[in-house]
Structure 1
Amino acid sequence: MANPRRGEIEAVLDGRPRTLVLTLGALAELEAAFGADDLMALAARFSQGRLGARDAARIIRAGLSGAGERVSLEAVEAMRAEGGAAGFARIVCDLLQATFGEGENPPPPQEG
C-alpha cells in the first residue's frame, strides 16, 4: 500500500496495483535521461506539461524502480493502464505531484 507522506502513489498497471515513488536515485536517473543539470531544472521541465509517451514511460519506470520493482523501459512501454493513454497521463501527473507538488489533494486533470 502506498504511503503518500513518503511521496508514494499507487497505480494499476497490467491489472495489478503497484507502488511508485521517485527516490533520489530515481530522480538522478531522470536527470540523466532528460539532460537536466539539477532537480530544479528537472522540475521546471516537468512543469511545462509537455511530455511524450517515452517520457511518461521513463517516469513510470523510475517510479517503479524507486519502489523496488526493477523493470526495463521496454517492459513499461508494453504495460497497460486503466483508462489507456489518459490513465498513463494520470499516473505521471500523480507521481510528479507527489514528488514536487504542494498540498495533499491535487486537482484532477482537465478532460476535454
Structure 2
Amino acid sequence: MGNRWRGEVMLVVEGQHHRMRLTLGALAELEEDLGETSLMALVQRFETGGFSTRDVLALLVAGLRGGGTMMDPDQLAGAEIEGGPMRAAQAAAELLARAFTVSS
C-alpha cells in the first residue's frame, strides 16, 4: 500500500505492484507533455472531465517515474493494468488529488 501522506498511489502493471508519486519534476514533465501552461489548468482539465485516455496515460507514466519506475508511454499502453481502464483512470485521479492534498 502506498503512503497517501506522501502522495503515493499503487498500480499493478503486468502483475507487479508499482508505487506512483507526482514529484515536482514529474508534474513539470506532465505539463509539458500535455501542453498545459500551469498546474491549475492541468488540475481543471481532470476536474471538469475534459481529459482523454492519452492524458490518463501521461499522468500514470509521470507518476510511475516519480515513484522510481521508468516506463515509456508505449510500454504502459501495451501493458496489462490490473482493474483495466477504470482502475487506470481512478489511479490517475488519485495521483492528482494526493499531489495537492495538504497534510497537517
Shared fold (TM-score greater than 0.5)? yes
CA deviations 1:13-61 (Å, max 9, x no partner) are 1111110001000100111112211212221222112322211111100
Map residues 61-100 of structure 1 onto 2, 5 A cutoff.
Answer: 61-100=61-100
Conserved in 2, the CA contact under 8 Å of 1:64 and 1:71?
yes
Q: CA RMSD in A?
A: 1.7
| 2-structure distance, mates of 1:55, 1:71 | 15
Gaps of 5+ in 2: none
Runs of 4+ that moved beyond 2 A = 100-103
Q: Which amino acid is 2:17 matched to?
A: P
| 1-structure distance, mates of 2:42, 2:90 | 19
Could you say what secondary structure the match of 2:90 adopts?
helix
Q: Which amino acid is 1:30 matched to?
A: L
CA deviations 1:62-107 (Å, max 9, x no partner) are 000011111111011112122211121121122122113578xxxx
Gaps of 5+ in 1: 104-112
Q: Which amino acid is 2:34 matched to?
A: F
TM-score between the two structures when normalised by the length of structure 2: 0.87
Conserved in 2, the CA contact under 8 Å of 1:43 and 1:100?
no
Q: Larger relative contact order (C-alpha < 8 A, sep ≥ 6)?
A: 2
| 2-structure distance, mates of 1:87, 1:5 | 21
TM-score between the two structures when normalised by the length of structure 1: 0.81
Question: Relative to structure 2, which stretch is displaced further, 82-91 or 68-77?
Answer: 82-91
